[in-house]
Amino acid sequence: MAEQPRKKVQEAARGTGTLLDIRNLRIEATVYPPGEDPKNVVIVDDVSLTVERGKVLGLIGESGAGKSTIGLSSMGYGRGGVRITGGEVVLNGRDILGDERGLRKLRGKEVCYVAQSAAAAFNPAHKLMRQVVEATLEHGVSSREEAEKRAVDLFRQLSLPDPENIGDRYPHQVSGGQLQRVMTAMALCSKPDLIVFDEPTTALDVTTQIDVLAAIKKAIRDTGVAALYITHDLAVVAQVSDDIMVLRHGKTVEWGDTRQIIEKPKQDYTKALVSVHAIDHEEHAPTPVPILTVDNVTASYGGGRVKVLRDVSVDIHPGQTLAVVGESGSGKSTLARAITGLLPPESGSITFDGRTLANRLADRPKEDLRQLQMIYQMADVAMNPRQTVGTIIGRPLEFYFGMRGAERNARVAELLDKIEMGKGFADRYPAELSGGQKQRVCIARALAAKPKLIICDEVTSALDPLVANGILKLLLELQAEEDVAYLFITHDLATVRAIADSIAVMYRGELVRYGPKGKVLTPPFDAYTDLLLSSVPEMEVGWLEKAISNRRMEAAGN
């Protein structure tokens, strides 16, 4: 008899259209800070949300906002030992939190998960098809034959090439963008009611992202599945979701429909997110004498077998920024390695400040090394974890200028002030800094050498939008103060617009477009620049459809 009312509740829930109802969710974890007693931290605090059948709710926030944790709670899962300590998660009319045993029936059948890194989420030892239909067979939703037929249909819907046979490949035999779509097919295969997308396009190139985004959007519409779409990129989420919830420090900041959040945000934090990248930067005219001239440089790996740079020539002018853009594999980082001497070019020459640089790093005098500094993408691994901030910034001072003791410490304090951190940080270790602070310390280390040129290799791509914005502003201020030139490598065109004076667009090792910013960003475009420019998500509802219909060229990763 007990079954009867329960079924009724379920049916009633279906009728009203509410699929997922999270009420006053509270999630905690225990952390073990070094040298202190273990303490409790609240990761998610009093968050409530509902998802209607067939609707998409976007969860957005910076790292640590609790968005992934909330997403996973919809399948009753706490990653990394976090505990759901309060609230209810009601799915299909029943509270899933109290029912440990029911979770196995729920996961992979009612709720499916699409992870950020498809490459890490697939088992490299099995063929794709076997993994795609696994959950379907496990739950006995359909026979293998039917499941595989459905998978092929889904591959077609997600516009994967050769949908009949792609399931016979292994994960390493398809590209990253394709793998992400295969994972979406995997999630859709068991006909779930809800899919949790956890930053599905963040790890992809901008030109690939747009295809995956369009495929996901189409698949959601065609199958009528509901989704939680987690990302830190407001422009991306605006394309796929019906509603958006903005989260910060585990609390809800704002929750409304997509149009309202993008066009009329109410909270200050949301306004900041929407207006990110609104840096005004006046383009400088090129000076008569460039500081660095790269002349017909060709470079390759493996003793000439793999050509990664072909006849690249660019100029950088003193106190100005050259942005090098392109997708992964375009050779932009290799250009930096050739300039620094880490990868001696095969032919061509590099002239710096009027003198020709030696090809090999080992042959360059100390003075050349001092004037040409580099900042890395991953600040965590660019600093020795066993050295304090004071040592990290102080070492170039010792090494290049022979500063010691009080003189050195005073200069370190001055540099820490410059990067808006203060001298109290000198005794900290890198592990005790936030992501943005780490990158600032790396900037200070580069500045300590008083360089004429700093190579910035994707310095903001690992950071949250607001933090990245702060770093870009700091770099521009420092450029004005110190008159240093930047070679700015990035795949993010919004960043380029914000800081560049001239732009070089690279594609498969070749320079396809190069010149002052105004000229490069003005039509007529060549096909690749057009693709690149049109692939950058804009904070505008309906941008995705417009962009797809206006394209002239297929993305390489497709």
462 part of the interface to other proteins, by CB under 8 A: no
User: From the list 80, 385, 523, 524, which residue makes contact with other proteins (rule: CB under 8 A)?
Assistant: 385
Shortest Cβ 80–other proteins spacing (Å): 15
Distance between CA atoms of residues 301 and 78, nearest Å: 44
Edge-first strand order for the sheet with 306-316 is 306-316, 292-301, 347-352, 355-356
Tokens representing 415 are 């540099």
Shortest Cβ 489–other proteins spacing (Å): 14
Stretch that binds other proteins, among 128-136, 146-154, 159-167, 382-390 (CB under 8 A): 382-390
User: From the list 369, 474, 512, 553, which residue makes contact with other proteins (rule: CB under 8 A)?
Assistant: 369
Distance between CA atoms of residues 314 and 294, nearest Å: 5
Burial label, 242 (beta-carbon count in 10 A; 0-12, 13-18, 19+): middle
**With respect to other proteins, which residue has the nearer C-beta, 325 or 392?**
392
Q: In the block, which residue shows the tokens 């100005």?
A: 320
* Residue of 228, 232, 234, 230 lying closest to 49 (CA atoms): 228
Residues 23-42 that bind other proteins (CB under 8 A): 32, 34-35
User: From the list 280, 366, 405, 524, which residue makes contact with other proteins (rule: CB under 8 A)?
Assistant: 366
Q: State phi, psi for 302 to the nearest 5 degrees.
A: 65, 40
382 part of the interface to other proteins, by CB under 8 A: yes
Size of the site for other proteins (CB under 8 A): 30
Distance between CA atoms of residues 320 and 480, nearest Å: 9
381 part of the interface to other proteins, by CB under 8 A: yes
How many residues make up the chain in this entry?
A: 558
**With respect to other proteins, which residue has the nearer C-beta, 403 or 547?**
403
Distance between CA atoms of residues 158 and 185, nearest Å: 8
Distance between CA atoms of residues 113 and 238, nearest Å: 20
Shortest Cβ 377–other proteins spacing (Å): 8
The 3-state DSSP class for residue 231 equals strand
User: From the list 85, 103, 277, 399, which residue makes contact with other proteins (rule: CB under 8 A)?
Assistant: 399
**With respect to other proteins, which residue has the nearer C-beta, 251 or 370?**
370
Stretch that binds other proteins, among 91-99, 184-192, 379-387, 479-487 (CB under 8 A): 379-387
CA torsion 183-160-547-332 (nearest 10°) is 80
What would you report as the CA-atom Rg of the chain, rounded to the nearest whole angstrom? 26
Contact between 397 and 413 under an 8 Å Cβ cutoff? The reply is no
Shortest Cβ 379–other proteins spacing (Å): 9
504 part of the interface to other proteins, by CB under 8 A: no
User: From the list 42, 358, 378, 476, which residue makes contact with other proteins (rule: CB under 8 A)?
Assistant: 378
Residues 50-89 that bind other proteins (CB under 8 A): none
419 part of the interface to other proteins, by CB under 8 A: no
303 part of the interface to other proteins, by CB under 8 A: no
State the amino acid at position 254 in one-letter form: E
User: From the list 227, 374, 454, 489, which residue makes contact with other proteins (rule: CB under 8 A)?
Assistant: 374
Residues 326-365 that bind other proteins (CB under 8 A): 340, 342, 361, 364
Cα–Cα–Cα angle for 20, 26, 32, nearest 5°?
A: 135
Contact residues toward other proteins (CB under 8 A) are 32, 34-35, 340, 342, 361, 364, 366, 369-370, 373-374, 376, 378, 381-387, 395-396, 399, 429-432, 445, 449
